[in-house]
Amino acid sequence: MSAPPSMPPPSQPWRFTRQGTDGRSLPEVHASIHVPDSTAAWWRRFLAFVGPGYMISVGYMDPGNWATDLQGGSRFGYHLLWVVMLSNLMAIVLQALAARLGIVTGRDLAQACRDHFPPLANSILWLSCELAIIACDLAEVIGTAVALQLLFGLPLIGGCIVSIADAFVVLLLMQRGFRYLESFIIGLLLIIAGCFVVQVIASVPSISAILRGFMPSSQVLRDPSMLYIAIGIIGATVMPHNLYLHSSIVQTRAFDRTPAGRRDAIRWSTLDSTIALVLALFINAAILIVAAAAFHASGHHDVAEISDAYRLLSPVLGVGIASTLFATALLAAGMNSTVTGTLAGQIVMEGFLHLSMPSWARRLLTRGLAVIPVLFVTLLYGTHGVGELLMFSQVILSMQLPFAVIPLVMFVSDREKMGEFVISPPMKAMAWLIAAIILILNFKLLWDSLTSLN
């Protein structure tokens, strides 16, 4: 009997444990998208792989990024642009590794961890990832609620409750097919990009200052407040649950499960995610550039709240539609982020626990866990407290990164597991360097937090 398409080749020693009906990641959409054969034009084969990269890019421009980028731009001008660029470059490398893992082994990162680590380690990794998903969902709830308040005057509490309904949008699109879900994502991404193109042009930023901002500086290590925001930017940009997500959704393509087919899939999937993350870099940099040009340059150095940015943007720039475009892009970002949170939650729960839960139930559970703290903080502290909670959620995400990055780098560096597709020594060195940077920054943040308590 032939092996299922998603199984690793016999030469690879993964223990194939059964999950659901056949052990496949996201079995309802596994290998559901046709890939033209090798005789087809290159652009047709590339287009068949376009989609997953844009889905994971959503996590790199969600509402959490807005809080950290706005605060970084208004307080420090263009100085943290290099951190935005660094975090996106790190994301490009890590997402390429996640795609490679899924394509070569037929396992998503959660399944791979369960196959490799003992139960106690898996429990820690699962709890860490669930915490990251809740923190990300927290940012989605806040971003969507704030956008609804800015555009339509809906109270924050009402916006939080309305945000629960987005679960049904995801379910409807999934039922129609994975391509519909990807098209929905790409459409909203184009809206976000268009809104920021207009805002960047209207803000008339200093080109020379932007270029200097992309040059690395050691000042971030000497200034605790700048470091806190820089780590928040990395936490908001490099999403830990996106690594689990990408390693799964690349398997929705019906490529040949042969060495040549896998090599081809790795090439096109890596190109897809790289192009999509360059778009994410533009969005993240644009938010910080607009904040620096509009707020820092005009003396508004304390703009950390999204609502404050909305209120000030049109008057400062002298463009009446600027604030509306800002809020529209925020709403699109919040809606988009819902998809990644939903799918990542399903992948993590099924991969680590072999526990299958209906999509609507999973979505309502994670969204409910995110809504409760937002409602609580809103009632006690109002809009200001919600802004602080949004920033804190991104630091939590940053703290969870090592728990996803280190296993991923371990797996793709292991020749026994990856066979001929093991990453090269230079790539292995780069991957471990990225992991080390993440660890160092997180230990620095933890040390500063503990010493500030004394």
Rounded-to-integer distance, Cα 309 and Cα 327, Å: 10
Choice between 386 and 14, residue whose per-residue pLDDT is larger:
386
How many Å apart are CA 441 and CA 444, to the nearest integer? 5
Mean of the pLDDT values across residues 329-348? 81
User: Tell me, what's the pLDDT at 362?
Assistant: 65
Domains in the chain, number: 1
Is the model's pLDDT at 367 over the cut of 80?
no
- The reported pLDDT for the residue numbered 6 is 41
One-letter amino acid at 433 equals: L
- Give residue 384's pLDDT: 63
In whole angstroms, give the CA distance from residue 394 to residue 67. 9
State the burial class of residue 46 (Cβ atoms within 10 Å of its Cβ: 0-12, 13-18, 19+).
middle
> How many Å apart are CA 424 and CA 336, to the nearest integer?
34
pLDDT band at 414 (very low <50, low <70, confident <90, very high): very high
Region 39-63: mean pLDDT is: 90
Residue 111's CATH number: 1.20.1740.10
Long-range CB pairs of 217-223 (<8 Å, 24+ gap) are 217/79, 217/82, 219/79, 220/79, 220/80, 220/83, 221/444
Tell whether 94 is covered by a domain: yes
pTM for the structure as a whole: 0.86
Mean pLDDT computed over every residue of the chain: 83
Q: Confirm whether 38 is domain-assigned.
A: no
Instruction: Count CB neighbours of 263 within 10 A.
Output: 15
Section 177-201 average pLDDT: 91
Supply 289's token pair. 């550039």
Is 182 among the domain residues? yes
- Structural domain span for residue 266: 46-453
Give the C-alpha separation, 203 to 290, whole Å: 6
Contact present, 303 and 295 (Cβ < 8 Å) = yes
Round to whole Å and give the CA distance between 268 and 317.
41
Domain for residue 71, yes or no? yes
**CA 17 – CA 111 distance, rounded (Å):** 9
Distance CA 430, CA 202 (A): 38
Q: Considering the domain boundaries, does residue 59 fall inside one?
A: yes
Please state, in angstroms and rounded to a whole number, the distance separating the CA atoms of residues 345 and 369: 13
For the stretch 87-130, pLDDT in tens is 899 999 999 999 999 999 999 999 999 999 999 999 998 888 88
Phi, psi of 253 (to 5 degrees): -85, 135
Greatest mean pLDDT among 144-153, 223-232, 234-243, 297-306: 144-153
* 170 within 8 A of 338, measured Cβ to Cβ: yes
**Which whole number is the average pLDDT over 190-197?**
92
Identify whether 121 is part of a domain.
yes
- Give domain status of residue 26, yes or no: no
- Is 30 domain-assigned? no
Residue among 51, 276, 277, 280 nearest 183 (CA): 51
Whole-angstrom Cα distance, residue 311 to residue 150? 9
